[in-house]
Amino acid sequence: MVDGIIIGTGNGGMEDCIKFLNQIIDYNEGMLTPTNFVQSTTNAIAAQIGLLASNKSYNTTHVHRGLAFENALLDAAMLLKENTDAHYLVGGVDEISAYNYNIDNLAGWFKKETLSSKDLYNPLSEGSIAGEGAAMFVVGGKKENAIAKVTGLQLLHTEDPKLVIEQLNRFLEKHLEKEEQVDLFLSGEDGDCRLAHYYAACEKVLVQQGAKVARFKHMMGEYATVSAAALWLACYIVESKKLPVHLLKSQNGQPNCNRILIYNSHKGAQHRFILLEK
């Protein structure tokens, strides 16, 4: 049994929340079904996992929009410093609900035109494609039986691309020795022309240092905790030593996959770097 359950989510169970609010109107504030209310709070996912597993240990949910999963990961890292023998279930979960889809669609975050996933990156236009997903990890403080190790995590709030590059260079200097380099840059590029300059700037830095570039949002779409799915993908690549060809930005051979850097920007305001090693 794990020693705690830590979930990151951007919207939680918002769809059930809307159902509950509609019931208030439909039943004129009379007798309401409590199920939708219970399952509508953002901590419902972590709570239900705890109930199903009869786990009464540490149980919490981080709701920080595009940095929700990273804060859950950071929470687990701090707990593991206190107890290296512990293990925690850490995850990122978000769904496409009518509520959050309509809000983001009205704000212009989704593409107006219909397109296939293979055409997401070309030509660039405003917006991306809606996504949803869940990724879970059992994390611990010891190397035994581990698939990979998260050796670096950086969170950043800014809309200045120069500051993003500055922080990227500092991040690489901090976590890599002079003779080391990133093998694969896993970019969160999402086909949105308004965010393309962030990814292009980071890509330029990594390519100059010898990294190959891969993308993943044509498979997963865009959502607040998509970086959790990207971390799962990076773990799969590191473990299997295989990179699906359709992920590569340029088809110039398979890269080494011992060290992967994930970069993702959420709506151009929240940024994160995650460094993963075998």
The domain tally of the chain equals 2
Last residue of a domain, one of 115, 140, 165: 140
Report the C-alpha gap between 6 and 110 in whole angstroms: 29
Instruction: Identify whether residues 121 and 18 lie together within a single domain.
Output: yes
Same domain, 266 and 158: yes
Which CATH number covers residue 247? 3.40.47.10
CB contact at 8 A, 59 and 119 = no
Nearest to 184 by CA among 221, 163, 204, 213: 213
Same domain? 126 vs 226: no
CA proximity to 227, closest of 266, 277, 169: 266
Q: For residues 167 and 251, state if they share a domain.
A: yes
pLDDT tens-digit readout, 154-207: 999 999 999 999 999 999 999 999 889 999 999 999 999 999 999 999 999 999
* Alpha-carbon gap, residue 224 to 226, rounded angstroms: 6
Assess whether 98 and 199 both reside in one domain. Answer: no
Per-residue pLDDT, averaged over 4-25, amounts to 81
Q: State the Cα–Cα distance between residues 7 and 43, nearest whole angstrom.
A: 8
Rounded mean pLDDT of 39-61? 89
Asked if the model's pLDDT at residue 27 lies above 90, the reply is no
pLDDT at 83 exceeding the cut of 90: yes
- Report pTM: 0.91
The type of residue at 183 is D
Q: Are residues 153 and 248 in the same domain?
A: yes
Q: Which residues contact 184 (CB under 8 A, 6 or more apart)?
A: 211, 212, 213, 214, 237, 243, 255, 256, 257, 259, 260, 261
Q: Is the pLDDT of residue 12 over 90?
A: no
Cα-Cα-Cα-Cα dihedral of 75, 76, 81, 83, to 10°? 130
Can you give the residue range of the structural domain that contains 187? Answer: 149-277
pLDDT of residue 76: 97
Say if residue 128 is in the same domain as residue 165: no
Residues 49 and 207: their CA atoms lie apart, in Å, by 41
Q: 122 and 206: one domain? A: no
Determine the average pLDDT of the residues in 2-27: 82
- Segment (H or E) for 134: strand 133-140
Both 158 and 181 in one domain: the answer is: yes
> How much is the mean pLDDT over the chain?
91
Give residue 264's pLDDT. 98
Closest by Cα among 9, 38, 31 to 97: 9
Q: Which of 46-50, 115-119, 129-133, 258-262 has the lowest mean pLDDT?
A: 115-119
Q: Look at residues 91, 112, 140 and tell me which one is the last residue of a structural domain.
A: 140
Residue 252 host element (H or E): none
* Amino acid (1-letter code) at residue 144: E
Lowest-confidence pick of 16-20, 41-45, 66-70 = 16-20
82 lies in the same domain as 133: yes
Is the domain of 122 the same as that of 187?
Answer: no
Q: Which residue has the higher pLDDT, 278 or 138?
A: 138
Q: Is the peptide bond before 123 cis (omega within 30 degrees of 0)?
A: yes
Question: Are 194 and 237 in the same domain?
Answer: yes
pLDDT the model gives residue 100: 84
Tokens of 54: 């009869």
For 193-247, how does the pLDDT look when each residue is reduced to its tens digit (9 = 90+)?
Answer: 999 999 999 999 999 999 999 999 999 999 999 999 999 999 999 999 888 889 9
How far apart CA 275 and CA 261 sit, in angstroms, is 5
Fill in the DSSP letter of residue 241. -
Name the one residue in this structure whose structure tokens are 């962030």.
Answer: 198
pLDDT at 121: 94
Last residue of a domain, one of 88, 120, 140: 140
Q: Which residues are 106's β-sheet partners?
A: none
Query: According to the model, what pLDDT value does residue 46 have?
Result: 93
Half-sphere exposure of 167 (CA within 13 A, CB side): 20
Q: pLDDT (tens digit, 9 = 90+) per residue, 112-159?
A: 988 888 889 998 999 999 999 999 999 999 988 899 999 999 999 999
Q: What's residue 206's pLDDT?
A: 95
